[in-house]
Chains A and B, each alone.
Chain A
Amino acid sequence: MSGPTNGTAGGAGTVARPAAPLPAQRSAGPVPPRGTVVVSSMASDAHTWNLVFLQLLIEELGFEVVNLGATVPDEMLLAECRERGPALLVLSSVNGHGYHEGLRVIRRLRADADLAGLPVLIGGKLGITGGESAEHIEELLGAGFDAVFDDRPEGIAAFTGLLGRLSERQAHELR
């Protein structure tokens, strides 16, 4: 009596495109936007407060943010990145599947001719037992992530520092 199964990664059926529910809050000041950052969850993760928080934080650092929202299927993530050509992709996962999904997603990104060189970061609560093992972090880095932030308070400071350096480099390149 099982109902219809709904297929492929990320749940099939209709998949809505991202909305812009948090209007970009870039300050109207003189600072030029420092490029676009795509913020996204992965296919199985429904949590969004992490995404809203990251959007605000990254906007405050002077970037424009495209927030793809919850449960983003791999195909959609790749398509959005190709279309928008961001300076950086920030993946966030807190539901405990981050290690597993992160590996899948980074392999697909690195195998894609257009996206192989895109800087990609991942952070959050990546496993289900609190804190991620050094081994898993190594594995994620080895598979192609440029940085992995496990769920420690220093993570946000390190992330902010890294974005600061990224924006300096870009400002430099623009000159």
Chain B
Amino acid sequence: MNFGDHVREVHARGALVVQPRMGMADPALMRAGLEAVERADADTVGTITLDSYTRTGDLESVRAALRDGVGLNGYPIVTYPAAVTRGVVAGLAERGFPVQVRHGSARPLHIFGALLDAGLHATEGGPVSYCLPYGRTPLDESVRNWEASCELAAEYAAERGVRPHLETFGGCMLGQLCPPSQLVAISVLEAVFFHGLGIRSLSLSYAQQTDAEQDAEAIRALRALAGQLLPDADWHVVVYAYMGVYPRTVAGANALLAAAARLAVDTGSERLIVKTSVESSRIPTVQHNVDALEYAAAVARDRRRQLAGPDAPPAAPADGTDSQVYREAAALVAAVLDGVGSGGVGGALVGAFKRGLLDVPYCLHPDNAGRSRSYLDEAGRLCWAELGGVPLQGIAPVRPGRRITSGDLTKALCHVQDRFDAVALDRGADRPVGAAEHEILEGKPA
């Protein structure tokens, strides 16, 4: 069954699909990891996350690492023969456990080739979201490579009668400190880009940021815009548990994951990608992932029960268009789509970044204008400090002109970590994780 159909089916019976970020270099371990996720007490789908050498196209280093027994940070799908990967996923989809490949590549054609060859057809990314935060490939080259990759997937689908599924990664952009409206806009625009290239089964991502209410506004805005711009597509929303600097304590990490699960349920989202309790320090083991999946699923079940019960919080407005996030996101999407010419949506995206209409704060990529800045307001909402060329004058409030020190940056980056760790440490009973133990016990340096 197609990945999107599966998610829709689970949603229809009132459950949230949960998914790990997981990838190991060894095929047997990868298989065992997938089976453990399948067995977890939750409605799971599987993930094969690729290693960074494969992402950047450095296949020589993959071979060297495998030869020398050096640990890789993911599964090198392009290097293994297709038969090996087919073995890793054998029988899983047939028994109702679809697997998605997650990669982070601005030039994914070799990866699309390998995953389609192995009989997989769910993956994710996007010409912007897998370019600007992931390296220095020029944006126009990423757009061309993503166009070719989508065409390859569509062609393959037509030949074999399957529907490939693509998820936008645009709701993440650097993981932190990107104003939610721009995350929503890029996620929507990448979905429109995929759709224009013949991909009909889509999901749109949004990563949890610093403020639960603002995040809920953002997801409702995402749904509203997707509804307007993808009327004939089959799409769902996937929420990512926080993608920035993560709490160091187990209780803090769990509390943040729980907040993500509640956010997903409250906004009617269909799927959640979890983070584990060791996110702050290392690549998780299979068990870390299973624990996180089961925990998130349990929180989601409780939340759904609560929403159906007598102490349910007041329901949010069904229409997602009456919010600050929506007004900003809609303006950004309109400004970019206004530039669609013979180069299609891809060309419009390249043009938008060139003109600074889209501009990701703190992004070092040479094709990002780098004139916008963000900040956290007193309430913890993520806002624009400076717009640069982003066309939100009169729509978004700004706070220009402050020079940012390494201390300011650290404070903003660690805001979520600090908040959730503080909650955990107040409870006292918790063990911090990883190498950072002493830092927590001694109090964090400013």
* Residues of chain A having any CB pair with chain B under 8 Å: 1-19, 21-22, 25, 43-46, 48-49, 51-53, 56-57, 60, 67, 69-72, 95-97, 99-101, 104, 125, 127-131, 150-153, 156-157
Contacts and interface: CB of A to CB of B under 8 A. Distances in A.
Interface stretch (B55-63, B93-101, B253-261, B376-384): B55-63
Contacts of B395: none
B282 interface: yes
Nearest to B52: A44
Nearest to A58: B406
Contact of B406 (A13, A46, A57): A57
Contacts of A60: 405-406
Interface centre among B56, B152, B176, B436 (most CB of A within 10 A): B56
A139 B53 CA distance: 22
30 contacts: A3-B111, A4-B109, A7-B57, A13-B57, A14-B138, A19-B364, A21-B369, A22-B364, A25-B403, A43-B56, A44-B56, A44-B58, A46-B55, A48-B362, A52-B364, A56-B404, A56-B409, A60-B405, A60-B406, A69-B366, A70-B364, A95-B73, A99-B70, A100-B65, A100-B70, A101-B61, A125-B281, A128-B72, A130-B278, A131-B435
Given A46-B133, A69-B136, 18 more contacts: A3-B111, A4-B110, A7-B57, A8-B58, A18-B366, A19-B370, A21-B363, A21-B364, A21-B366, A43-B58, A44-B53, A44-B55, A46-B134, A49-B175, A67-B364, A128-B73, A150-B435, A151-B281
A35 to B, nearest CB: 19
B59 A1 contact: no
Contact of B368 (A7, A21, A51, A152): A21
Question: 3 closest Cβ contacts across the A-B interface?
Answer: A21-B370, A3-B109, A130-B282
Interface centre among B61, B78, B149 (most CB of A within 10 A): B61
Interface in B154-176: 156, 174-176
Interface of B: 52-53, 55-61, 65, 70-73, 78, 104, 107, 109-114, 116-117, 133-138, 141, 148-149, 152, 156, 174-176, 245, 278, 281-283, 362-370, 403-406, 409-410, 413, 434-436, 438-439, 445
Contact of B413 (A15, A49, A69, A127): A49
Contacts of B112: 3
Given A6-B107, A9-B61, A71 B434 contact: no
A3 B152 contact: yes
Contacts of B148: 3
Given A4-B109, A46-B135, A53 B56 contact: no
Contact of B134 (A3, A22, A71, A104): A71
Contact of A16 (B53, B278, B366): B366
A49 B174 CA distance: 8
Contacts of A130: 278, 281-282, 434-435
Contacts of B72: 97, 128
Nearest to B68: A100
A174 B65 CA distance: 44
A53 B409 contact: yes
Contacts of B445: 153, 156-157
Contact of A3 (B113, B278, B404): B113
Given A43-B58, A153-B438, A48 B282 contact: no
Nearest to B139: A16
A5 B135 contact: no
A48 B439 CA distance: 23
Contacts of B435: 130-131, 150-152
A6 B406 CA distance: 36
A96 B71 contact: yes
Contacts of B369: 21
A22 B370 CA distance: 7
Contact of A13 (B52, B107, B134, B278): B107
Contact of B282 (A16, A44, A52, A129): A129
Contact of B362 (A8, A10, A12, A52): A52
A2 B79 CA distance: 11
A11 B204 CA distance: 28
B364 A14 contact: no
A156 B73 CA distance: 25
Contact of B57 (A5, A97, A100): A5
Interface centre among B133, B137, B445 (most CB of A within 10 A): B137
A17 B366 contact: yes
Nearest to B367: A16
Given A44-B53, A153-B436, A71 B136 contact: yes
B138 A3 contact: no
B73 A2 contact: no
A121 to B, nearest CB: 17
Contact of B52 (A14, A21, A95, A127): A95
Contacts of B138: 14, 16
Given A11-B57, A128-B282, A2 B409 contact: no
B73 A97 contact: yes
Contacts of A53: 406, 409-410, 413
A3 to B, nearest CB: 3
B283 A70 contact: no
A141 B284 CA distance: 28
A132 to B, nearest CB: 9
A150 B282 CA distance: 13
